[in-house]
Amino acid sequence: MKVLGIETSCDECSIAVVENGRHILSSIVATQIDIHRPFMGVVPEIASRTHTEWIRDTFTETLHRGELALEDLDGIAVTSRPGLVGSLLVGLSFAKGLALALGIPYTTVNHVKAHLYAPQLEREISYPFLGLLVSGGHTMICRVDGVDDIRVMGTTIDDACGEAFDKVAKYYDMGYPGGVAIDRLAQTGNPQAFAFPGPNLHKGDHRYDVSYSGLKNAVINQIDQFWDGVSEKSLENIAASFQKRAIDILVKRLLRAVEDTALDRVVVGGGVAANSYLRSSLADVRGLEVLFPPLELCTDNGAMIAGLGYHYLKEGRISPLSEAASARVEGFRKTYP
Ligand code: ATP
Ligand code: MG
Ligand code: FE
C-alpha cells in the first residue's frame, strides 16, 4: 500500500510517499527556516501563508521524484494535531480535497506519535519499548506496547527540551534554529565551565518528569552564579555547559524508567533526537538498545506521517471529512504506571 504523507504542522512543508509503512519512495521536506530566521522563531501567520504557496508544488515534485502517478496512491495520511492551527489547516484541507478527488481514503495522524514512529521507517522494531520523545514543543517518556498503544510515564512540567535550546540560543544570538546552533557551538566548548542546576522535582508524583524553566532561567539570568570562575565566558562554553545539563536531566529520568520497567529497548524521536551529546550519552549505556531515527527524520517530515498512517488505513481507520485541526496534543496525560 502506497501512502502519501502530508506534514504542515509548523514550518516544514513536507510530503512523502511511503510503501507499507516502511519504504520511503519519495520525500521532500521544504523548510521555511530561512523565512523565519530574521524573527528568530516561527511566525504563525507567515508559516501558514507560505504553506499555501508551497504545498501544491511540493506535492507534484514528490510524485515526480518518485516517478509516481496519482493512480499509484492508495491512501493519504495527514497531521491534524498538535501544531499551529493555521498551518495544520493547509495540509488537512489539501489532504481532504485530494482524497475526495482521487476517491481514496485519508486518515489523520497525531504528529507526536509520528515522531516516535520515525525510527521504524528504517527497520522493524518489536514492542514493547520505552519511547523518548524530545521535540520543540513536547518532552515525554512513555511506555509503548503497540503502534498506537502509548502510555505516558513522564513529561516536562514546563518548557519542552527543544524549546529550552531555542530560547537559550535566541537570547545569546547563537544562531537559528537554536538546537542545531548549540549542538555545533558545544563541540568546541567546555561543559564544565558552568555548573548549571538540574530541576528540583522531589515533591509530588514526578518520578519520570523533567523541567527546563529553571535551567533556562539560570543560563539566561544567573550565568555568573554558576560560572567556575576560570573558564572563558564564551558562547561555546555556555552552549556546552547548557547542553550537558539539559541532556543529563533527560537521560537520568529515562534510565530510571528503564530500571523500573525492566525494558531494555529505547526508541527516540523528535528534533532533539538529532543532538550529538544525547546520541553519545545513550550509546554509552551498557545493555541498552537505543534506536534513533536517521538525522533527516528527527525533525518534521511527511514520511513519518505516512508511515504511521499506513497502520491506521490498514485497520480501516478512515477519517471523516469533518475532521478538525487542533493545536493540542490530546490523550497524552500520564497513564503509566
Ligand atoms: P513538536 O514536534 O513538539 O510539535 P516541532 O515540530 O517544532 O515540535 P521538531 O521539528 O520535532 O519540533 O524539532 C525541532 C526542535 O528540535 C527545535 O526545538 C530544535 O532546536 C531542536 N533540535 C534540532 N536539532 C537539534 C540538535 N542537534 N540538538 C538539540 N536540539 C535540536
Ligand atoms: Mg521545524
Ligand atoms: Fe515535530
208 φ, ψ (degrees, to nearest 5): -115, 15
Q: How many helices (DSSP H) and strands (DSSP E) are in the chain?
A: 10, 10
Dmax over CA atoms of the chain, in Å, equals: 67
Pairing of strands 289-291, 106-110: unpaired
Distance 108 CA to ligand 3 centre (A): 15
Distance 251 CA to ligand 2 centre (A): 23
Output the residue whose Cα is nearest ligand 1's atom 29.
179
pLDDT at 330: 76
Q: Which ligand is nearest to the CA of 47?
A: 2
- Pocket perturbation via mutation, ligand 1, pick of 8, 159, 272, 308 by most ligand atoms within 8 A of CB: 272
Distance 181 CA to ligand 1 centre (A): 12
**Cα-based angle 91, 94, 100 (whole degrees, multiple of 5):** 140
Distance 275 CA to ligand 2 centre (A): 15
Distances (CA, A) of 56 to 62, 95, 98, 195, 269: 10, 11, 11, 49, 28
Confirm or reject: Cβ of 136 under 6 Å from ligand 1. yes
Distance 203 CA to ligand 2 centre (A): 34
Q: How far apart are CA 197 and CA 200, in angstroms?
A: 9
Tens digits of per-residue pLDDT, 296-336?
999 999 999 999 999 999 999 999 999 999 999 876 778 88
Q: How far apart are CA 152 and CA 331, in angstroms?
A: 9
Amino acid at 81: R
Q: Of 287, 32, 233, 269, which is closest to residue 131 (Cα–Cα)?
A: 269
Output the residue whose Cα is nearest ligand 1's atom 19.
179
DSSP 3-state assignment of 60?
Answer: helix
pLDDT at 203: 81
The stretches of the chain forming alpha helices (DSSP H) are 33-36, 44-65, 85-102, 111-117, 161-171, 178-186, 213-221, 235-261, 276-283, 302-314
pLDDT at 26: 98
User: Could you tell me if 150 and 131 are in contact, meaning their C-beta atoms sit under 8 angstroms apart?
Assistant: yes
DSSP 3-state assignment of 195?
Answer: coil
First to last CA, the chain: 36
Domains and CATH numbers, the chain: 2-116+298-314 (3.30.420.40), 126-292 (3.30.420.40)
Q: Name beta bridge partners: 110.
A: 81
Q: How far apart are CA 162 and CA 136, in angstroms?
A: 4
Q: Name beta bridge partners: 210.
A: 156
Q: How far apart are CA 183 and CA 268, in angstroms?
A: 17
Confirm or reject: Cβ of 115 under 6 Å from ligand 1. yes
Confirm or reject: Cβ of 227 under 6 Å from ligand 1. no
Confirm or reject: Cβ of 179 under 6 Å from ligand 1. yes
User: Could you tell me if 291 and 268 are in contact, meaning their C-beta atoms sit under 8 angstroms apart?
Assistant: yes
Confirm or reject: Cβ of 87 under 6 Å from ligand 1. no
Q: How far apart are CA 122 and CA 283, in angstroms?
A: 18
User: Could you tell me if 327 and 110 are in contact, meaning their C-beta atoms sit under 8 angstroms apart?
Assistant: no
Tens digits of per-residue pLDDT, 118-130?
999 999 999 999 9
Q: Which ligand is nearest to the CA of 14?
A: 2
pLDDT at 290: 98
Confirm or reject: Cβ of 137 under 6 Å from ligand 1. yes
Burial call 165-204: b when 16+ CB within 10 Å, e when fewer: bbbbbbebebbbbbbbbbbebbeebbbebbebeebebeee
Under DSSP, the state recorded for 244 is H
Atom of ligand 1 nearest to the CA of 165: 20
pLDDT at 12: 98
Provide the ipTM. 0.98
Grid cell, residue 325, equals: 485541526
Distance 327 CA to ligand 2 centre (A): 15
Confirm or reject: Cβ of 199 under 6 Å from ligand 1. no
Atom of ligand 1 nearest to the CA of 161: 18
Instruction: Tell me the whole-structure pTM to 2 decimals.
Output: 0.97
Q: How far apart are CA 193 and CA 195, in angstroms?
A: 7
In the chain, which stretches have pLDDT less than 70? 331
User: Could you tell me if 3 and 305 are in contact, meaning their C-beta atoms sit under 8 angstroms apart?
Assistant: no
pLDDT at 202: 83
179 annotated ligand binder: yes
Confirm or reject: Cβ of 269 under 6 Å from ligand 1. no
User: Could you tell me if 215 and 188 are in contact, meaning their C-beta atoms sit under 8 angstroms apart?
Assistant: no
Confirm or reject: Cβ of 7 under 6 Å from ligand 1. no
Q: How far apart are CA 72 and CA 311, in angstroms?
A: 18
Residue whose cell numbers read 558545544: 186
Residue whose cell numbers read 517530515: 301
pLDDT at 332: 77
Confirm or reject: Cβ of 113 under 6 Å from ligand 1. no
Instruction: Taking each helix axis as running N to C, give the angle between helix 213-221 and helix 161-171, from 0 to 180 degrees, rounded to the nearest 10.
Output: 10
Confirm or reject: Cβ of 271 under 6 Å from ligand 1. yes
pLDDT at 335: 86
Atom of ligand 1 nearest to the CA of 277: 28
